[in-house]
Amino acid sequence: MKDTISFFKRVLPLFLLVFQFLYVGVCHAQNELEDLEVIIKKNNRDTVQFDAYIELYKLEHMEAPEKAKAYLDQAMILARKIDYDRGKALAFLCYGDYYGNLGKSELAMEMLNKGKSIYDKLNDHRGSASCLNNLGSLRYKLGEYNEALECYLETARINEDIGDTLGLAIVQHNIGGIHYEQGRYDKAKEYWQKSLDLEYALKDSVGIVYGLNALGTVHTAKKEYEKALEMMLSALNIANEVGGISLIASIKLNIGVQYQQLEQLDKAKEYYLQSLALFKQIEDKYEMTIQYINLGKLECDLDNGEKALAYFDTSLTMANNIGAPQLMEHSYGGLADANKLIGNYEEAFDWLEKWNDIQDSLTGEKVQIQLNELQEKYETELKDNEITLLQKKKAEATLTADRRKWLLIIYSILIVSAILILILYLGKRKAREQQRRSELEQKALRAQMNPHFIFNSLGAIQQMYVTGELDLANNYMGDFGSLMRKILDNSGKDLISVKEELEMLRLYLELEKSRNNELLDYSIDVDERIDRLGTKIPPMIIQPFVENAIWHGLLPSKKKGKVVVRLNCTKNADMIICEIEDNGIGIQQQVKRKKYESKGMKITEQRLGTKVRVKSLSPGTCVTIKIMI
């Protein structure tokens, strides 16, 4: 990756962690679609017909969500007609899944809470655990990690109490996701390995795919991309056998991430686009947003700033619509990258500030402390099921000391946070001032070259009018005006095409030729490999050297001379080598005369950031400059 890519490109790409939704209370017989439709056509209006509707929803909800919702609506209508409370709860659970996939988080949580309320009244622990697990997944997508972990830990307790191995495997997978998001990769790996071991014991192919995918992301976080790719390709082979658009799309996304990290960008883009097409097919807006972010990062790696900007604009719009702050965070960072890549530095800085603000809210120290407290509480309860009276008394005895300790820690955190905020503020202000100063200096450097030439030209025009050479003076005035217009047009630009630069140079040379009574001849030779329109260079970069060759090389010789300008392209086409050659008095004589110091040459060296090579010829001088493109 190029050094010019901003800080955000050093952050690992956004990985897809799939959180499974658990459905319970449904007849799990593997009936074919036709058999289920036969049951519905009988219209017995009983729990069997309800279960058939739910099974059809499960079969269709990923590939054909609208068709699936029609089955779900029929299931809810039937549950209400026959007063089937467990069916109502299950339908609400499925509605939560449906609206969650559409990015309608608030509506999804409302449905899940209604379902949990009914399951709690029925004392159905398995159903309550399913609702809690899905609520945790929605909270995670909203960046509410503390609330998500609370839901997951409660789900784990219930599943352990009722001996639900599959449910425990799923929630352990999700707890691992929370740790991964907070950068605790070893802890994430511990939970994901536990989950995968349970999935292997259950011979659950879908669960195995999710486990392999998750463990692969840990290798990615540790920059072990070959290992991650190997693991995810294995997961894709299993996913292709199991089927399911969402499952295959998820794995293809992460395979694209590995190829991107391995700098095989064409393969990465191929997998990203395949994954995006699959997520569009099932209208999964959350995963579509993630994929637009990954495509934007890829286009940044390819130096396609405009394409990257379009992808990140789309991802930010979608992230706002579905209310996903962690995806907004990545979109802000991507917009900063893309704007910097195309030279919109002020806008890039604004996006950078937004990224910094939202990142603080997602991964700040307060959130970390809360998550750690919840995790420690959960693990302590697992290890210490029986708390003795002695432990309670000990806790009471140390309560005062603990309060003082925590107050000290909180005060320390507040002081450190205030210092960090002050440092960040001062750093941002300094960076902004440096950027403004740099822009002003660049404009000043351009302006220094123009007054010298303007003074000489106006003097020449005056002389022509005084001597009565009116036609020549008028022609000279016309050319001089054209050159001034071009200089003014380009003065506000950082880069112009080679064609525009050469047009200004030719005008300048023609003016000098006319002013010096045809004692000057010149030629400009351009390498055919250089795209004159497409190649961009700083404006007025060659003119100071040509001016120096004329005034300090040719004119002092008092005889007709010639200036030759040659532009050649390097083999890898990343640089233009420009040579300005004259047959004047030579560099040694110029040094002896010491009558003039070229400010233009020094200014140009500062603009290019490279040294200019000057070589003596017999007769004359050759100046070589290197211009990055």
Read out DSSP for 77-104?
Answer: HHHHHTT-HHHHHHHHHHHHHHHHHTT-
Mean pLDDT of the chain: 81
- The pLDDT value recorded for residue 244 is 78
pLDDT at 566 over 90: yes
Smallest CA-to-CA distance from 565 within 581, 543, 584 is with 581
CA 37 to chain CA centroid, Å, is 46
- The pLDDT value recorded for residue 383 is 56
Asked if 213 contacts 235 with a C-beta cutoff of 8 angstroms, the reply is yes
Q: Which residues have a Cβ under 8 Å from the Cβ of 117 and sit 6 or more positions away?
A: none
- Between helix 399-466 and helix 498-515 the angle, nearest 10°, is 30
pLDDT at 100 over 50: yes
Smallest CA-to-CA distance from 298 within 288, 289, 285, 307 is with 307
Amino acid, single-letter form, for residue 100:
G
Smallest CA-to-CA distance from 494 within 336, 342, 300, 338 is with 342
Q: Which residues pair with 625 in a beta bridge?
A: 578
**Residue-wise pLDDT tens digits, 186-245:** 998 999 999 999 999 998 888 898 889 889 888 988 889 999 999 999 989 988 888 778
**Residue-wise pLDDT tens digits, 223-235:** 899 999 999 999 8
Strands 613-616 and 621-628: antiparallel
Q: How far apart are CA 8 and CA 28, in angstroms?
A: 46
Tokens coding 110: 């409302």
How many helices (H) does the chain have, and how many strands (E)? 25, 7
Mean pLDDT check: name the lowest of 169-173, 351-355, 574-578, 622-626: 351-355
Mean pLDDT check: name the lowest of 148-162, 214-228, 607-621: 607-621
Q: Is 627 helix (H, G, I), strand (E, B) or coil?
A: strand
pTM beyond 0.75: the answer is no
Q: Calculate the alpha carbon distances from 97 to 104, 244, 275 in Å.
A: 10, 16, 21
Read out DSSP for 585-614?
Answer: S-HHHHHHH-----HHHHHHHHHHTSPPEE
